[in-house]
Amino acid sequence: MDLPPASGAWRPGDPVGARHFETLFDARPHVLEAGGRLEHVTVAYETWGTLDPGGANAVLVLHALTGDSHAAGRDGWWDPVIGPGAPIDTNRWFVVCPNVLGGCQGTTGPASPSADGLPYGSRFPILTIRDQAVVEAALADRLGIDRWAAVVGGSMGGMRALEWIVAFPERVERAVVVSVGAKATAEQIAWGSMQIRAIQADPRWRGGDYYDAPDGEGPQVGLEIARGIGQISYRSELEFDARFGRDHQGDEDPLDGGRYAVESYLEYHGAKLTRRFDANTYLALSRAMNHHDIGRGRGGVETALTRVRAEVAVAGISSDRLYPLRLQHALAAALPNATDVEIIQSPCGHDGFLVESEAVGKVIRRALA
């Protein structure tokens, strides 16, 4: 792919951990799987380590729904896993983490300007996980990376890792896929759809065109509720019971209108997300996750996975009720070159792929050995 360099792009010798930007598909519209188009696509990404002269030591790390390109360093969402001497050892590997297509941390998404200079808003087209992997492949082309030594991701990042090994089998040597299945289940779609409806029910959503609202307010309440719904599915019933039980929040009395501790917890995480995340991005990415199906248009899941050439490590969390272990076992059974599923014991549910960084790190270290 012959693409001109963009300002802000990474170049050898750049400081690690700084956010860079690449503008892709700027010479023509980018056509998406569902038929929509984007006039141009900019990708924000961060890098760590040094790319060797042959480009053979590159590792792609892919974030989950509300993550971003800042995987390592201060406040990095996977900082214990990436760095000198870490499971993804930056003394050995050159690590790239892009913000996903549809995101709100520098990559083209609903809040980005369209061709008329106004935010896409309600005009932002339907995205799929496949679209996101295609854009990541274009970024790899721009960076001169023909083949990844490894592609690593959990949850939505795991979906994109699966798309990589199916869509671009010759470009991935190995993959680590954590806490995901080959396609979205009915219950996962149900959880996602309720979060989408929570945002759309907020009067300040305004059909998706709230960026220039007279009061300057977007659908924060809807996003807070959506995050709370999601947070329930991300943790486990046993953890909630052990952590909160029927405790009250501080001195509040639920019989007098006060909150239970678990209610306060959900409100906290909802409010925290609204300070850094766009509601339309939450919608676009939730829909993309609902559309996840590695077998769509490829003869079904099992046929699609016969394309895979990479060695694949599949891992799951023992208490994950959103992406239960049966999905990882089915995935590993259908992959040509997968090891047995590595089960990470944790009470933390789906979020265990982030919380149990030491155990997840061991899986990754073995895969990269």
Q: Based on the domain organization, do 345 and 311 belong to the same domain? A: yes
Tell me how crowded residue 91 is: count the other CB atoms within 10 A of its CB: 10
DSSP secondary structure letters along 321-334: SSS-HHHHHHHHHH
The pLDDT of residue 10: 47
State the pTM of this model: 0.95
The pLDDT of residue 309: 97
- For residue 226, the Cα-to-chain-centroid distance in whole angstroms is 17
29 vs 78 pLDDT, higher one: 78
Determine contact, residues 339/316, Cβ cutoff 8 Å.
no
**Per-residue pLDDT tens digits for 143-173:** 999 999 999 999 999 999 999 999 999 999 9
User: How many folded domains does the chain comprise?
Assistant: 2
Q: Based on the domain organization, do 110 and 209 belong to the same domain? A: no
Q: Based on the domain organization, do 214 and 150 belong to the same domain? A: no
Is 4 among the domain residues? Answer: no
C-alpha distance from residue 131 to each of 9, 17, 37, 144 (Å): 21, 26, 11, 20
Q: Based on the domain organization, do 133 and 230 belong to the same domain? A: no
The pLDDT of residue 18: 81
Where residue 65 falls (left for φ over 0; alpha for ψ -120 to 50; beta otherwise) is alpha
Q: Based on the domain organization, do 180 and 208 belong to the same domain? A: no
The H helix count followed by the E strand count for the chain is 11, 12
**Per-residue pLDDT tens digits for 99-128:** 999 999 999 999 999 999 999 999 999 999
Query: 294 — phi, psi (to 5°)?
Result: -65, -20
Mean pLDDT, residues 14-34: 82
The pLDDT of residue 4: 30
Q: Based on the domain organization, do 313 and 200 belong to the same domain? A: no
**Per-residue pLDDT tens digits for 218-260:** 999 999 999 999 999 999 999 999 999 999 999 999 999 999 9
Position 8 pLDDT exceeds 70: no
DSSP secondary structure letters along 82-98: EETTSSEETTT-EEEEE
Per-residue confidence band for 5, with pLDDT thresholds at 50, 70 and 90: very low
Q: Based on the domain organization, do 351 and 363 belong to the same domain? A: yes
Q: Based on the domain organization, do 46 and 136 belong to the same domain? A: yes
CATH code for the domain in which residue 259 is found: 1.10.1740.110
| Kind and range of the H or E run holding 225 | helix 220-234
Average pLDDT, the chain: 94
28 vs 100 pLDDT, higher one: 100
Position 16 pLDDT exceeds 80: no
Residue with tokens 């998706």: 208
C-alpha Rg value of the chain to the nearest Å: 20
Q: Based on the domain organization, do 51 and 137 belong to the same domain? A: yes
CATH code for the domain in which residue 357 is found: 3.40.50.1820
Q: Which domain range does residue 46 map to?
A: 19-184+293-368
Is 361 among the domain residues? Answer: yes
What is d(CA 220, CA 287) in angstroms, rounded to the nearest whole number? 19
- Residues marked active site are found at 155, 320, 350
